Structure 1
């Protein structure tokens, strides 16, 4: 099953499941209850914490839910906030998810030091639902912006091109 966020990010090969973690959790759970897929592939855009470049395409099977305040000592979580579909993730790019977009460039090094290189609002929810139903899952992302003060403006400027590149990448990958 190939899914995407929806609204401004839709593909002819993917089913939209919602924007943000809550919509995805609800809608993907409904889909899995109706007919459990063998595999879930999420396709969408992402922001870079600094090392990944605009229009880089990244594949990942690991998601985290880390808030910026964790790195500054302003919060902690008793929950398991990293989920993966594979065992050895030593070189895997971890995708962070939050319902908030990072606009403070100073936060990037904190994330990249933990091998968290991009953020996407939906991926953690995708991976948690997949984990609950014991379904293998992964994601393919195209970077639209850096996580800085221009994040939203750059996202809007680059989203259409990123969507085109994702469309081509996923379709070519399916042919292999």
Structure 2
């Protein structure tokens, strides 16, 4: 099953499950209870903490849930904030997920120091639901912006082209897999 956030990130090959971790958790759980898929694949946009380039496409099976306040030592969490369906996590691109978008390059540098390269609002929830149901899962992301002071403007400027490139990538992958 291929899923996406929805609203401005929809694809003819994917089922929208909501924006942010809460909506994804609720809606994807409902879908998995109705008919458990063999595999879950999330497709969508991501912000780069600095090393991944605009329009670069990255595949991952590992997400974390770290808030910016944690980087400053102003919060902690009792939850296991990393989830993965990868066999070798050391080779993974870590995708950080929060209901907030990072718009401060200082935080972006701190994430990179922790080997976290991308930011997406939904992927952690997708992997947690998949883990709960025992479903292998992954994600395919296209970079729309850097996580800095221009994050929102760059996202808006690049989003349409990014969605076209991501759809083309997925269509090509689908053709390759059917051969």
Q: Do the two structures share a fold, i.e. TM-score over 0.5? A: yes
Deviation at 1:89, TM superposition (A): 1.1
Which 4+ residue blocks in structure 1 deviate beyond 3 angstroms? none
In structure 2, runs of 5+ residues without a counterpart are none
Distance in 2 between residues matched to 1:91 and 1:14, nearest whole Å? 27
Point out the more displaced range, 31-40 or 105-114: 105-114
Deviation at 1:87, TM superposition (A): 2.6
Secondary structure, counterpart of 1:90 in structure 2: helix
Task: Count residues in correspondence.
Answer: 176
Distance in 2 between residues matched to 1:151 and 1:108, nearest whole Å? 11
The alignment status of 1:24 with 2:7, answered yes or no, reads: no
In the TM superposition, what are the counterparts of 1:7-18 in structure 2 within 5 Å? 7-18=7-18
Distance in 2 between residues matched to 1:71 and 1:21, nearest whole Å? 20
Question: Which digits, 9 at most, give the CA deviation of each residue in 1:54-73, with x for residues without a partner?
Answer: 00000000010000111111
**RMSD (CA atoms):** 0.6
In structure 1, runs of 5+ residues without a counterpart are none
The alignment status of 1:77 with 2:80, answered yes or no, reads: no
Distance in 2 between residues matched to 1:34 and 1:107, nearest whole Å? 40
The two structures have a TM-score, normalised by structure 1, of 0.98
The two structures have a TM-score, normalised by structure 2, of 0.97
